[in-house]
Structure 1
Amino acid sequence: MQHLIQLLLALLLVGVIAALAVIAYNHPPLTSSPGLLTRLSTYLTRHVAQTEPMSAYPERRLHVYRRPAQAVLEAAVAAARANDWQIQSIDSKHHHLHAVAVTPLWRFKDDVEVWVKTTEDGGSALYLRSASRVGIADFGANTARLVHFRQQIEQRL
């Protein structure tokens, strides 16, 4: 019985170390608001990251630009192509992009969506969503993808 307990504890330790290693590999934000434990909990229990106007996660807050919606969408399409994502659809009329990103390590397919909405002052609000198709945890991959993707969009604007 004691050997079984030791084996189970060893497997648990290996699992925890493996999960933390995958999170470190993905390079998502770890130490900023809302804190390390909340972020680890999120990365281990969620498979979607998306922008929201009042998110507790700074990198997931809605971004507004003083550029027309079409220009922001074009920057997003260029960034998606630069990442070699598979473009599924581009709707210029509704300023929407759907692409598929393939993870480098396990080759999982994740859906990335972009919506650009025109603001009252003529600018644009950028909504991003990245969702894993497999599993219940993304180990921070979707958050890291959104951070990097938004940086690429901003470089093009």
Structure 2
Amino acid sequence: MSQPDDSSYHNPRLLHLAGFLIFLGAAAVVLGGLAAALSGLGSRWDWWRFQTGFGILEWAVIACAGGAVASLIGLLSAVLQRQGALALRAVPGIVIGLAVLAYPLSLLDQASSVPAIHDITTDTDDPPRFRAVAGARRAAMNAVAYPGGDTAAKQRQAYPWIEPLLLDRPVHTVFQAARRQVAAEGWEVHFAERWSERGPERTGSGAAARIEATATSFWYGFKDDVVVRIAQAPDGRTRVDVRSASRVGISDLGVNADRVHAFLNALAERLES
């Protein structure tokens, strides 16, 4: 028995519709992907405020979702008509669309897994203070002073591992290592000084030091300020306290806690080596 001709499966209208959907899906995904990238970069380059960038990102996500759906429908239509070559053209639109969707969805999942706070410190009773960056923070959304209270309670519950680093090394040695680590992190340094007399932010007595810097995110250019306080503890060891706080936003998605924890671990490793 002879096999049916593939042309019997062809419906010119459906074939045209499949091609149109695949083209439309690809165009929507490409434009959505570009808009998603520019939503953050435009904010970083001061083309618009980050709230505008979030609005652009929202529309970019909708475009990518629609593009992926259109590409999928086009693919199914092409498969039903046994047009393998045409079906393959739909794959990039589906893959790229889902890839663009994955990132904001992962951010939403991350936001739901951490407390809505943006100021993290190893010392919630006497947190290191911002001085050199105080002016920049006053011009931003979030406060200069540590909020304490509910923020401290939420931090202790969510990040119990955020605590001071105690070292059997002199303050000046730890200070120099901290400066090198800050440089390695790529943060912008505003203040770095060591002094030998008792200062306004001291733990115990003896030598002390403080570093203030700013970390800037790549995509949206969000600025998080960091202060490192190094002082001699009552038991004679050197104590390192770190505070990292976002200038804008209610939730930091856990970024500041990760930064503090990673910095202290890297500092300890640097001193051991």
Query: Is TM (by shorter chain) over 0.5?
Result: yes
Tell me the equivalent position of 1:146. Answer: 260
Equivalent residue of 2:161, what SS?
Answer: helix
Structure 1 residue 41, shift from structure 2 partner: 4.2
Moved more, 49-58 or 125-134: 49-58
- Which TM-score applies when normalising by structure 1? 0.71
For the Cα contact (< 8 Å) 2:192–2:210, is it kept in 1? yes
- Paired residue for 1:77, among 156, 179, 189? 179
Tell me the equivalent position of 1:132. Answer: 246
Q: Distance in 1 between matches of 2:222 and 2:114?
A: 21
Structure 1 residue 18, shift from structure 2 partner: 4.9
Summarize deviations over 1:82-122 as a string: whole Å, max 9, x none: 11111100121140000011112321111000001201232
- Which TM-score applies when normalising by structure 2? 0.42
Tell me the equivalent position of 2:230. Answer: 116
Aligned-CA RMSD value:
2.5
Q: Which runs of 5+ in 1 are unaligned?
A: 1-10, 25-36
Q: Distance in 1 between matches of 2:193 and 2:118?
A: 25
For the Cα contact (< 8 Å) 1:53–1:61, is it kept in 2? no
For the Cα contact (< 8 Å) 2:114–2:254, is it kept in 1? no
Higher relative contact order by CA 8 Å / sep ≥ 6: 1 or 2?
A: 1
Q: Distance in 2 between matches of 1:58 and 1:118?
A: 23
Moved more, 75-84 or 49-58: 49-58
- Paired residue for 1:64, among 157, 166, 190? 166
Q: Distance in 2 between matches of 1:154 and 1:62?
A: 12
Q: Which runs of 5+ in 2 are unaligned?
A: 1-61, 63-100, 126-155, 196-207
For the Cα contact (< 8 Å) 1:131–1:142, is it kept in 2? yes
Q: How many residues align?
A: 127
Tell me the equivalent position of 1:87. Answer: 189
Equivalent residue of 2:219, what SS?
Answer: coil
Structure in which a larger fraction of residues adopt strand:
1
1:52 matched to 2:123? The reply is: yes
Q: Distance in 1 between matches of 2:169 and 2:160?
A: 21
Q: Distance in 2 between matches of 1:53 and 1:135?
A: 20
Q: Distance in 2 between matches of 1:52 and 1:114?
A: 11
Structure 1 residue 47, shift from structure 2 partner: 0.7
For the Cα contact (< 8 Å) 2:122–2:242, is it kept in 1? yes
Tell me the equivalent position of 1:6. Answer: none
Letter in 1 for 2:190: Q
Q: Distance in 2 between matches of 1:131 and 1:92?
A: 22
Q: If you compute each CA radius of gyration, which structure gives the higher value, 1 or 2? A: 2
- Which stretches of structure 1, 4 residues or longer, exceed 6 Å deviation after superposition? none
For the Cα contact (< 8 Å) 2:193–2:209, is it kept in 1? yes
Moved more, 116-125 or 93-102: 116-125
Equivalent residue of 1:120, what SS?
Answer: coil
For the Cα contact (< 8 Å) 1:115–1:126, is it kept in 2? yes
1:20 matched to 2:108? The reply is: yes
Structure in which a larger fraction of residues adopt helix:
2
